[in-house]
Amino acid sequence: MSEQADLAYAGLSAAARGRGAAGAAKPRGAKAAPGRKKGRQSRPPKPRERATASDLARKQRDISVSEFFAKNRHLLGFDNPAKALLTTVKEGVDNALDACEEAGIAPDVRVEILQKSESRFRVAIQDNGPGIVKSQVPKIFGRLLYGSKFHRLRQSRGQQGIGISAAGMFGLLTTGKPVKIVTRTGRGKPAQCFELVIDTRSNEPKVRRDEIVKWDPPHGTRVEIELEGSYRGGQHSVDAYIRQIALANPHAQIDYLPPAPPSKAPQNKAGKAAAQKAPAPQAPELRRFPRVTKELPPETAEISPHPYGVELGVLMQMFRDTGSRNLRGCLQADFSRVSGRLADEICERAGVRSNRKPAEISRAEAERIHQAIQQTRIMSPPTDCIAPIGEALLEKALRKEVSADFYATLTRRPAVYRGNPFLIEVGLAYGGALSAEEPISVYRFANRVPLQYQQGACAITKAVSGTDWKSYQMQQPRGALPVGPMVLMLHIASVWVPFTSESKEAIAHYPEIVKEMRLGLQECGRRVAIHIRRRRREADEAKKRAYIEQYIPQVAVGLQEILGFANKERDSVVAKLTDVLKRSRKL
């Protein structure tokens, strides 16, 4: 670092960060001298000073995961105010639905958005879930990478233990306000109220308030976060999200109170303001999305890792951690689909004795076992760990959303990527009021959560564009979405959905996943092609028939003249010919 740079900037910034360790970064002779700032550009460059290894070493430092995500908040879906509002709602609702389902409760979720000023909102999400034990509240809401869903293979909306605390952190960053939580774990238990902030430096919660309050619901949780945001319409809006989450979760009841713009002048209570010229802000109306079915989705099981999906490093770790006393037991107990016989087969193929203590297996032996696993035929992982929406409910949802002529839905059988079971569902609506001139709309879902951003980066988009829609009677520019009156809905359900970013907006391009999607799309494509062809044939028939019908009377008149028919006979000929036409060309 040159002397000049030191003088003008480095000293300042060391002070700016003001951390203990930062003092070390302060270069020799540096002094905050703001007056010199401007002079810098005109001076001739000095020869560089060489930074030594120990200069560089003094700057090395830990980065807390909260600091990391605070600075990279676009990774979590907080890139802009409109998206920040959506992400906050989304993380809250994901958690609410997960909690209810894990506890076997039919979810009643309430989302309220209160607009406090032009760019400031207070979001509240309330559920009737099992509530949260007091000691867990601070960590769940005030710490990134904390949760129950990461260390297991089980289908759920949340996966990472980041979402809701990140929303709270974003609220804190933009408004300085803490997250507020009210929770109650059951009738007769007190309702607990917390206000807490995340300390980004240490990724630890700081509790500002912790007391018992009066709260009516027998059990459940309510989270309130205040943040800088923006409320917009359109495909990326909170409204669109709420509609789509209701579609994909027909067993949930969702109440949604959208924001009303803050009124600038106090309004008359009787609503007289409405008579004035300026459109008065309307009081927001609660929108209820009632449940379509009372049945909860089939309960999903947690599964053990499948041997094919386990990498060498993970395998070695599992040997160190296992509770089993020998290799055979470990293979059998810690993995899906490994029987005692299969465990023996693997050990033998690897040339490692099956009674070896797992913790004592060397790297080389582990590598042989890893290879032996790949060479052994092992059943696919169990698939009852995945709960599809189902073809019937999917079609019901589509019919509710889109008015079309033709619907097709498909739930594929589960498949596996990297040892993780997953399942693809496809819904298709065609014709009707849909526009024939535009590229089709694609609704994307992962574990029943709508994905609204990053369509271009998503494996679903890749699968749709990569399908040859021309062979299904649709137009399609090369490598793009087809053009026509169609809506597609794709759903991936998995014990672990591979997203392209922490904000969970797009599915990563695993070949197995793209392939399954394509197969599902092709099947639905074939069905819609039959429909389109039939429609075309029908239109052709109708045209021909109209043409023939037009000439039947002429034919009859001709016959009457040639054969001297009476009018009655002529009419009978018309009737007969019409009948023949009808029978020969069935519509």
What residues between 182 and 221 interact with a copy of itself by CB under 8 A? 185-186, 200-201, 219
Out of 19, 272, 353, 533, point to the residue binding a copy of itself (CB under 8 A): 19
- Per CB under 8 A, contacts with a copy of itself among 330-389 are 332-340, 363, 366-367, 382, 384-385
Distance CA 273, CA 348 (A): 85
Q: What is the CA radius of gyration of the chain?
A: 33
Closer to a copy of itself by Cβ: residue 320 or 526 = 320
Closer to a copy of itself by Cβ: residue 62 or 216 = 62
Binding of a copy of itself by 52 (CB under 8 A): yes
Distance CA 39, CA 507 (A): 51
Structure-token pair, residue 189: 């238990």
Q: Closest distance between a copy of itself and the C-beta of residue 256, in Å? A: 26
Closer to a copy of itself by Cβ: residue 258 or 297 = 297
In order of 113, 183, 191, 471, the CA distances from 87 in angstroms are 13, 22, 27, 39
Q: Closest distance between a copy of itself and the C-beta of residue 116, in Å? A: 12
Binding of a copy of itself by 235 (CB under 8 A): no
In order of 211, 212, 470, 504, the CA distances from 125 in angstroms are 20, 19, 45, 20
Kindly tell me the burial class for residue 277, based on how many C-beta atoms sit within 10 Å of its own C-beta (0-12, 13-18, 19 or more): exposed
- Per CB under 8 A, contacts with a copy of itself among 521-580 are none
- Per CB under 8 A, contacts with a copy of itself among 55-94 are 56-57, 59-65, 67-68, 70-72, 74-75, 79
Closer to a copy of itself by Cβ: residue 116 or 544 = 116
Closer to a copy of itself by Cβ: residue 340 or 351 = 340
Q: What is the residue type of 439? A: P
Q: Closest distance between a copy of itself and the C-beta of residue 475, in Å? A: 14
Q: Closest distance between a copy of itself and the C-beta of residue 206, in Å? A: 12
Q: Closest distance between a copy of itself and the C-beta of residue 432, in Å? A: 26
Q: What is the residue type of 380? A: S
Structure-token pair, residue 255: 């109440």
SS3 483: strand
- Per CB under 8 A, contacts with a copy of itself among 132-171 are 132-133, 135-136, 139-140, 145-148, 150-153, 160-161
- Per CB under 8 A, contacts with a copy of itself among 448-477 are 454, 456-457, 477
Which part of the chain contacts a copy of itself (CB under 8 A), choosing from 249-257, 316-324, 441-449, 538-546? Answer: 316-324
**Whether the Cβ atoms of residue 107 and residue 97 lie closer than 8 Å to each other:** yes
Binding of a copy of itself by 483 (CB under 8 A): no
Closer to a copy of itself by Cβ: residue 285 or 512 = 512
**Closest to 399 (Cα-Cα) out of 409, 411, 389, 413:** 409
Distance CA 334, CA 304 (A): 6
Out of 213, 265, 286, 314, point to the residue binding a copy of itself (CB under 8 A): 314
Closer to a copy of itself by Cβ: residue 75 or 548 = 75
Helix H or strand E encompassing 332: helix 327-334
Specify the long-range contacts of residues 460-468, CB closer than 8 Å, at least 24 apart: 460/490, 460/492, 460/506, 460/507, 460/517, 462/509, 462/514, 463/490, 463/514, 463/517, 463/518, 463/521, 464/440, 464/488, 464/490, 464/517, 464/521, 466/514, 466/518, 467/518, 467/521, 467/522, 467/525
Out of 39, 190, 290, 298, point to the residue binding a copy of itself (CB under 8 A): 298
Which part of the chain contacts a copy of itself (CB under 8 A), choosing from 41-49, 247-255, 267-275, 559-567? Answer: 41-49
Closer to a copy of itself by Cβ: residue 316 or 429 = 316
Closer to a copy of itself by Cβ: residue 296 or 552 = 296
Binding of a copy of itself by 301 (CB under 8 A): yes
28 Cβ neighbours under 8 A, 6+ residues apart: 6
Q: Closest distance between a copy of itself and the C-beta of residue 93, in Å? A: 18
**Around Cβ 407, how many Cβ atoms within 10 Å?**
22
Binding of a copy of itself by 501 (CB under 8 A): yes
- Per CB under 8 A, contacts with a copy of itself among 508-527 are 508-510
Closer to a copy of itself by Cβ: residue 153 or 442 = 153
Distance CA 490, CA 467 (A): 14
Binding of a copy of itself by 12 (CB under 8 A): yes
Sign of CA dihedral 293, 298, 302, 307: negative
- How many residues make contact with a copy of itself (CB under 8 A)? 127
Q: How far does CA 143 lie from the centroid of its chain?
A: 22
Closer to a copy of itself by Cβ: residue 29 or 456 = 456
Out of 48, 116, 206, 544, point to the residue binding a copy of itself (CB under 8 A): 48
Q: Closest distance between a copy of itself and the C-beta of residue 548, in Å? A: 44
Q: What is the DSSP string of 224-250?
A: EEEEE-----STTSHHHHHHHHHHH-T
Q: How many CA atoms lie within 13 A of 475 on its CB side?
A: 9
Closer to a copy of itself by Cβ: residue 172 or 434 = 172
Binding of a copy of itself by 321 (CB under 8 A): yes
Tokens 């994307």 belong to which residue? 444
Closer to a copy of itself by Cβ: residue 64 or 441 = 64
Closer to a copy of itself by Cβ: residue 266 or 323 = 323
Binding of a copy of itself by 40 (CB under 8 A): yes
Distance CA 279, CA 262 (A): 13
60 Cβ neighbours under 8 A, 6+ residues apart: none
Which part of the chain contacts a copy of itself (CB under 8 A), choosing from 274-282, 293-301, 512-520, 569-577? Answer: 293-301
